[in-house]
Amino acid sequence: MAKTPTFDKRPSKILRVGKGFKLQDVDPGSTPGYDGDKADGHKLLAEMDDKLGGLQEQLFAESRFGGRKRVLLILQAMDTAGKGGIVNHVMGTMDPQGVQLATFKAPTPEEKSYDFLWRIEKEVPAAGMMGVFDRSHYEDVLIHQVHRWAGAEELERRYAAINEFEARQAAAGTRIVKVMLHISRDEQKERLLARLDDPTKRWKYSGTDLQERAFWDDYMDAYQKAFDKTSTEAAPWHVVPGNSKWYARIAVQQLLLEALEGLDLQWPVPDLDVALERDLVLRS
Amino acid sequence: MAKTPTFDKRPSKILRVGKGFKLQDVDPGSTPGYDGDKADGHKLLAEMDDKLGGLQEQLFAESRFGGRKRVLLILQAMDTAGKGGIVNHVMGTMDPQGVQLATFKAPTPEEKSYDFLWRIEKEVPAAGMMGVFDRSHYEDVLIHQVHRWAGAEELERRYAAINEFEARQAAAGTRIVKVMLHISRDEQKERLLARLDDPTKRWKYSGTDLQERAFWDDYMDAYQKAFDKTSTEAAPWHVVPGNSKWYARIAVQQLLLEALEGLDLQWPVPDLDVALERDLVLRS
């Protein structure tokens, strides 16, 4: 049987937002580091599911014996980019007991009455957990910059607060994986039309998607600014081209695999006399 | 291609705890209503995944447009019966955004300072959600009866409180599916030994499992009592034989399918002029 093509360059390197990164240089239709086609991608995705699930179980298991490690995937994107599908797939391969999903919508009046990180802090993953943020505190520097709900000085304060917040999480044992799913403006148009045309998808269509779409270039500027300010050593950004859904999925899967592998996880060795316990079970 | 065998009797009927039900009459190794073998069961499970996921999405979608329906799966079982695997599979087929999992462990001191339903009430599913309880308020009439942590009068109070609580949830739009996964005492012995023998599973082994195992018959009595007292019209119990993991999975899957189908779900029809919106998107 032919071997399924894998990445020839590590997504954590090739998709990373480093010095001098320009969002406009990323082709949303490209598949960096991967030469396979869609069918190959689907095969790779399926083949890696068990590995990802196994590592997540190890992460969870370690925490039952005092481990403090955890992972936090932060997903940001324009509407229709496919965050939902990725969350669905990633979490589908894991034990739900060990996954904490937080979906951040427009803040409630109560949430607005606090500083922007208040509602975020409440949702950070506990030890052993795989946390997933579907949108995040980055909304407070993206949409707020685009619509000028925050001025330059306030935005600076928020970037600094975000970096401190994320560095603290990292120091406490959290591996942070920040991903922007990047689709093109034309691709979004196609996907909005597809939502309108399919009666089983129409309920997902929202007039506000179209309103925000009108600010496309401003959003790209806001993302660039956020990357410049918050792609740190402790919590680097990755831009994942998203026009090909299959590519986005294997890329995020690989980013998580790399993050988990980097934690050097081990199966806990419980302090018990296995022979004695076996005997007790047999006699029971 | 041969058609995959399906259930010849509805699990919601054949597994239901009705008048005169005796737990001791259920063979944990049986596969009621299903004539297929293990391979058939796996095929059926995979074939029904999309259907289950689709219905769950409809449930969620309805709630975005004012729907109040929701589902609550309550799982109870002896240790090693396979609750985790079922939660894993059921939730793996659904959109995590629409699923609320609550795992009830031994209550914390804070939880103990309230009445037993306090921590339960906080975890009931919101409109549109698929709620899953991994253990539940039934611990307070099972383990509490077995170890005599509650007297006869207190247990009666709790049965009545549970029935009122569940009837209220049902009246508010919640379809409640209560499942006891039923394994045999011998099967549990095999599974405990398997945990001890596998270094990747050993961390799940707990000495308290063995302690509770010593009270097996008392637990069966407590389950029987709970069935007698709380298998109501609004929230009937189902006993799912669990020695065959594959059977338990397809049986729970079918119970959920039946529950969701019984809700008569429809895709929402948003109040928008599709032609106009299409035009706006095309011009955008």
Q: Is B2's pLDDT higher than 80?
A: no
C-alpha torsion B118→B121→B122→B128, nearest 10: 180
Q: Within an 8 Å CB–CB cutoff, is residue B189 touching chain A?
A: yes
Which CATH fold topology does A11-283 show?
A: Rossmann fold (3.40.50)
CB A207 to CB B272 under 8 A?
Answer: yes
Work out the average pLDDT over A115-135. 98
Work out the average pLDDT over A266-270. 94
Counting beta carbons within 10 angstroms of the beta carbon of residue A178, is it exposed (0 to 12), middle (13 to 18) or buried (19 or more)?
Answer: buried
Q: Return phi, psi of residue A131, to 5°.
A: -90, 145
* A34 residue type, one letter: Y
CB B203 to CB A268 under 8 A?
Answer: yes
CB B272 to CB A205 under 8 A?
Answer: yes
Q: Within an 8 Å CB–CB cutoff, is residue B276 touching chain A?
A: no
Q: How confident is the model at residue A1 (pLDDT cuts 50, 70, 90)?
A: low
Alpha carbon distance B252, B255 (integer Å):
5
Distances (CA, A) of A105 to A112, A178, A192, A209, A215: 12, 18, 20, 13, 19
In three-state secondary structure terms, B131 is: strand
Work out the average pLDDT over A151-161. 98
Which residues from B are below 8 Å from A130, CB to CB?
none
Q: Within an 8 Å CB–CB cutoff, is residue B130 touching chain A?
A: no
Q: Within an 8 Å CB–CB cutoff, is residue A205 touching chain B?
A: yes
Alpha carbon distance A256, A250 (integer Å):
10
Q: What is the pLDDT of residue B205?
A: 94
Which residues from A are below 8 Å from B87, CB to CB?
96-97
Alpha carbon distance A228, B177 (integer Å):
51
Residue of B nearest to A189 (CA): B281
Nearest to A234 by CA among A155, A162, A139: A162
Q: Is B104's pLDDT higher than 80?
A: yes
Q: How confident is the model at residue A2 (pLDDT cuts 50, 70, 90)?
A: confident
Give the number of other Cβ atoms within 10 Å of residue B280's Cβ: 15
* Average pLDDT score over chain A: 96
CB neighbour list of residue A262: distance below 8 Å, 6 or more residues apart = A175
Q: Which segments of A20-96 does DSSP mark as H helices, in order?
A: 38-64, 83-92
Residue of B nearest to A61 (CA): B203
* Interior angle at CA A60, CA A58 and CA A66, nearest 5: 105
Tokens of A107: 């803040």
ipTM, 2 decimals? 0.92
Among partner residues B92, B103, B277, which is closest to A92 by beta-carbon distance? Answer: B92
Nearest to B179 by CA among B233, B145, B243, B227: B227
Q: Is B112's pLDDT higher than 90?
A: yes
Among partner residues A189, A269, A280, which is closest to B284 by beta-carbon distance? Answer: A189
Alpha carbon distance B242, B118 (integer Å):
30
Helical pair A216-230 and A139-146, crossing angle rounded to 10 deg: 140
Q: Return phi, psi of residue A217, to 5°.
A: -65, -35
Q: What is the pLDDT of residues B53-91, one digit of tens each?
A: 999 999 999 999 999 999 999 999 999 999 999 999 988
CB A213 to CB B64 under 8 A?
Answer: no
Which residues from A are below 8 Å from B55, CB to CB?
none
Report strand pairing: B237-241 vs A174-182.
unpaired
Tokens of A141: 């520097």
Q: What is the pLDDT of residue A190?
A: 97
Tokens of B22: 């005796």
Tokens of A116: 């922007």
Q: How confident is the model at residue B196 (pLDDT cuts 50, 70, 90)?
A: very high
Which residues from B are below 8 Å from A193, CB to CB?
278, 281-282
Residue of A nearest to B102 (CA): A97
Q: Are B185 and B217 in contact (CB under 8 A)?
A: no
Q: Are A73 and A275 in contact (CB under 8 A)?
A: no
Q: Is B159's pLDDT higher than 90?
A: yes
Work out the average pLDDT over A85-89. 92
Q: Is A250's pLDDT higher than 90?
A: yes
Q: How confident is the model at residue B207 (pLDDT cuts 50, 70, 90)?
A: confident
Q: Is B111's pLDDT higher than 90?
A: yes
Among partner residues B61, B92, B96, which is closest to A87 by beta-carbon distance? Answer: B96
CB A189 to CB B272 under 8 A?
Answer: no
Q: What is the pLDDT of residue B280?
A: 95
Q: How confident is the model at residue B1 (pLDDT cuts 50, 70, 90)?
A: low
* Residue B8 C-beta-side C-alpha neighbours within 13 Å: 7
A to B CB pairs, distance under 8 Å: 111
Q: What is the pLDDT of residues A29-40, one digit of tens each?
A: 999 999 999 999
CATH code assigned to B11-185+215-283 = 3.40.50.300
Residue of B nearest to A193 (CA): B278
Question: B48 CA to chain A: closest CA distance, Å?
Answer: 16
* A149 residue type, one letter: W
Biggest distance spanned by C-alpha atoms of chain B:
72
Q: What is the pLDDT of residue A90?
A: 87
Q: Choose, out of B83, B277, B278, the residue to mutate when testing the contact with A (most A CBs < 10 Å).
A: B277
